Structure 1
């Protein structure tokens, strides 16, 4: 197997066979691992931290694009996002995200995620609290038979004689040795590159996966685009917008900023 890792390192690494290797243990990684295991695949998930507690979602939370498929609600939701995103989105991908989110939220309900209820007793499924969410995802991944390698950062992708990505190599920090996984498929779910932002949970987001993919010949697309930036007071590392839905915003002179808000009005603040 061709790689720049030394032969000595690979020779002494713990060899772990798998059908699917997932690198990264946040929401994307755990969902990918569970989905692959459900198809009967042998799945290994490697996380540089502790799957279920590391990454941007675990210490905070995440919003959900949870829109009922009945009626024209999804059409309105897509049109709104399409305009907000400068008409750069792909409608077909928006349909897939809406459908997958709807299905996954139903599975989270089955697994016992504690969605809150509104005044009418209906479940509110437009956001997830990180600690509860990722604790549940780790538990479900293990129940699905996924082998989790905690504190095991991947260093590089491995390739076969034809140059096809066929696994990865990394370290086991707790054991002080190395691991190598040969797999028929590799899923990179390592998050972005936001460690300099100082935002909550982003200290591990150092762009490892993007770098490994680029080294293997992957082409990156859309990396320069962002719909919106999160709000965060200078004294805080919390940029999750949900917390600021109840906030009032003032200018340096202490005067209220007309139209400013978290869900709407961030552009006015900027």
Structure 2
């Protein structure tokens, strides 16, 4: 039986665009974006918040959060200790000034959230019940009722005094940040309505990107396009928009890879279980990692154990008393991924009788869980004037939820000083954004988005996922370059399909960045995240550097090695020495085998 034919959407003229204006444009209504909007509005700015879904239930925080990973609570932890811990966890490649903002402002953010109605676990004395999961220091603060965090934030946005300052446009998806042709500053954005297909342009005094991670990069082992660890709507939109606006991105070769529940592909949540006495074991029941804190080194140990005859690997909970198991269930089965309980039940498993089999996630890009994101300073400013990045999009290593709130707050505070742009938007940039959005309508019978996206992400798994090599990464670059044409030929008929097609272009951009950045860093670092088989050693002498990439005036992807600044908090394992940047230019591909002469057998 054939389905009902769908009429192809009519392409609107750029001249018929819905035109909006604001002082501060916030793109993305998740953790960081919501806080950025609240802070900017609180400082007197007229804010426009664009969200391609609906702010009430969008972003990685949509189903809540089970705890805070990095709460530096006075009396229980010190900011300097936290800065040192994150410096070690990220193998020395950090801008400590950015990490310090989370260390010093995080507790204030906990108190602010508490004033909104968010509840954090406290002990019998009324003190915050922080637990230890990191190698040193107690920073993990459970949230027993964390499932309601996004609802609480949405209520704040809808308060009368906020409604007067914050305009929310749901179902509007920006695809490009617009920049001034003379000085390059951000002046707005262009996108479209994902329900009606209407073209939308925005004039803004400042733009805050808060679009989350690139979670739809690698293909999950299940093969499901949207069965990712990260929120699958986070397709790298902000990475691509920042890149095409001329902003520097950094650490893109430092992938996000996590230990997950096998087949379910959601977090097994050692962060939650570890403070209650849970831990990771091999098939013999032996603990095999020193610390369950997520880091590249831990993932290396995890991968090695999984591949050995000591695998599979499990999160052990079955030894815990009933009271503790019930407490863990009450958190894990109601927050962030509430279908966890249904998944276990479907297999006839129970934490009391079965430990949780774990596996390794697909690769992704994430500044908040790893260190791959848009380069920002300690006020969330990117290298493009008046363009900000916050949350998982921004490269502030291991920043997590509280860090996303902190940097959303910083971005909103700084951006609020600008007023709406009154000039003409750059016509060439608007036209390019229009073409990107609507070109699939010109070829409605072209390859559909799911097929093209599957092929693209299969190449990511084949050639970019670690362990990495120059040859495989070079093949990846060739494949992603070739797929630019295939992506341009995708077909669509509806506004929703246009959204998915635009996301594929973002994923392709992120895939190329990941491959080229991995080629450029000729060493191994961060454990499994950047394991180069052809450069197996860590080279602090040559590579205690940030690796920045940006789009050149000619459209090429160019790289710079930027020395890590001397630490304000000494860490004995690393000694950065400030110096000049090392311009690397375009990365050279590694030659790979081709067909030999036909006149002679090998």
Structure 1 runs of 4+ with >6 Å offset: none
The residue number in structure 1 matching 2:47 is 43
1:39-61 residue CA offsets vs partner (Å, 9 max, x unmatched): 10000111111214222232252
Q: 1:207 matched to which residue of 2?
A: 236
Task: Tell me which of 222, 225, 233 is aligned to 2:254.
Answer: 225
Q: How far 1:200 sits from its partner (Å)? A: 4.5
- Please state if 1:194 is matched with 2:215: yes
Structure 1: which 5+ runs fail to align? 1-6
Alignment CA distance shift 1:16-1:127 (3 Å): farther
Q: Secondary structure in 2 aligned to 1:153? A: strand
In the alignment, what sits opposite 2:205?
184
Distance 1:71-1:262 versus aligned 2 partners, 3 A rule: closer
Q: Does 1:123 align with 2:125?
A: no
Question: Could you tell me how far apart the structure 1 residues matched to 2:80 and 2:12 are?
Answer: 57
- Mark the CA change 1:30 to 1:79 in structure 2 (over 3 Å): closer, same or farther: same
TM-score (normalizing by structure 2): 0.40
Work out the CA distance in 2 between the residues paired with 1:60 and 1:237. 17
Query: Secondary structure at 1:17's aligned position in 2?
Result: strand
Q: How far, CA to CA, are the matches of 1:56 and 1:71 in structure 2?
A: 28
Counterpart pick for 1:134 among 132, 136, 150: 150
Query: Equivalent residue for 2:32?
Result: 28
Residue deviations 1:16-56 (CA, integer Å, cap 9, x gap):
21000010111111111111111100001111112142222
Query: Whose helix proportion is higher, 1 or 2?
Result: 2
Local SS of the residue matching 2:232: coil
Q: Trace 1:214-253 onto structure 2 (pairs within 5 A).
A: 214-226=243-255, 229-239=257-267, 240-245=269-274, 247-251=278-282
Pairing of 1:64-143 with structure 2 (within 5 A):
64-69=69-74, 73-124=78-129, 126-128=141-143, 131-143=147-159
User: Paired residue for 1:155, among 162, 175, 200?
Assistant: 175
2 CA distance for matches of 1:172 and 1:130?
Answer: 31
Root-mean-square deviation (Å): 2.7
Alpha-carbon distance between aligned partners in 2 of 1:244 and 1:233, rounded to the nearest angstrom:
13
Moved more, 122-131 or 230-239: 122-131
Provide the rounded CA distance (Å) in 2 between the counterparts of 1:177 and 1:54.
21
- Are the counterparts in 2 of residues 55 and 201 from structure 1 also a CA contact under 8 Å? no
Change over 3 Å in CA distance of 1:118–1:175 after alignment to 2: farther
Judging changes above 3 Å, is the alpha-carbon distance between structure 1 residues 158 and 66 closer, same or farther for their aligned structure 2 residues?
Answer: same
Tell me, yes or no, if the aligned pair for 2:59 and 2:231 is still in contact at 8 Å.
yes
Contact 1:29 / 1:189 at 8 angstroms: preserved in 2?
yes
How far apart are the structure 2 equivalents of 1:167 and 1:47?
15
> 2:292 pairs with 254, 258, 262, which one?
262
SS in 2 for 1:154: strand
Give ranges in structure 2 of 5+ residues lacking alignment. Answer: 1-10, 131-140, 221-226, 304-602
Aligned to 2:59: 55
Q: Which whole-Å deviations, capped at 9, do the CAs of 1:45-100 have from their partners, x for residues lacking one?
A: 11111214222232252634211345862222222222222122222222211122
- Of the two structures, which has the highest relative contact order with CA contacts closer than 8 Å and spacing of 6 or more? 1
Residues 3-18 of structure 1: matches in 2 within 5 Å? 9-18=13-22
CA deviation vs aligned residue, 1:150-197 (integer Å, no higher than 9, x gap): 121112222345353211122222344232211010011111211245
Counterparts of 2:117 and 2:242 in 1: how far apart (Å)?
Answer: 35
Cα pair 1:22 1:43 within 8 Å, conserved:
yes
Q: Name the structure 2 match of 1:4.
A: none
How far is 1:229 from its partner? 3.5
How many Å separate the matches in 1 of 2:29 and 2:60? 11
Q: Whole-Å Cα distance in 1 between the matches of residues 181 and 299 of structure 2?
A: 51
Specify the structure having the higher radius of gyration (Cα): 2
